[in-house]
Copies of this chain bind each other. A is one copy, B any other.
Amino acid sequence: MDQYANSTLFSVINAGKSLEQDLSEALGRIGLSMAKYGALCVLAASAEPLPLSVCARRMTCVRSNITQLMDRLAADGLIEREADPLDRRSVRAKLTSKGAELQLAGDQICSDIESDLAGLFEAQEAKILRSTLHRIS
């Protein structure tokens, strides 16, 4: 928004929202949301099926959220729940082959956006951009 032109706070927040919307729209075209893609990435990065509480920690969100998200992912056929015989409280999620495929498609979408972004900056600017942003988060 224009009234925030001199605000670093809202420059960052608004740019983040703008990119999130771009990514969200592109993911939407292959049937994914940000939340769903994030969960698929967490599962894809693990060699083993993951307990839902581990997913919650890695996605920096609460467990009840993961329960619902996994419900939706399971309804889409992208993950499966499996019981953990060593701890009967635990439920572990694993990607289906369809889930693994969609995760890769999501990665490609991120790469495409990253390429578009690269065209906006000089190399030195991009370096400073990432350096300053990493001090924030």
Q: Does A46 contact B (CB under 8 A)?
A: no
Main secondary structure of the interface of A (DSSP, over half): helix
Q: Does A134 contact B (CB under 8 A)?
A: yes
Copies in the complex: 2
Q: Which residues of B contact A136 (CB under 8 A)?
A: 15, 18-19, 117, 120
Closest B residue to A137 by beta carbon equals B18
Interface string of A9-41 (1 = CB under 8 A from B): 111111111111001000000000000000000
Contact A113 B19, beta carbon cutoff 8 Å: no
Known: A18-B136, A120-B136. 11 other contacts (CB 8 A): A9-B23, A11-B134, A12-B19, A12-B133, A13-B19, A15-B134, A15-B136, A16-B17, A19-B137, A120-B135, A129-B133
A interface residues with partner B (beta carbon < 8 Å): 3, 5-20, 23, 45, 110, 113-114, 117-118, 120-121, 125-126, 128-137
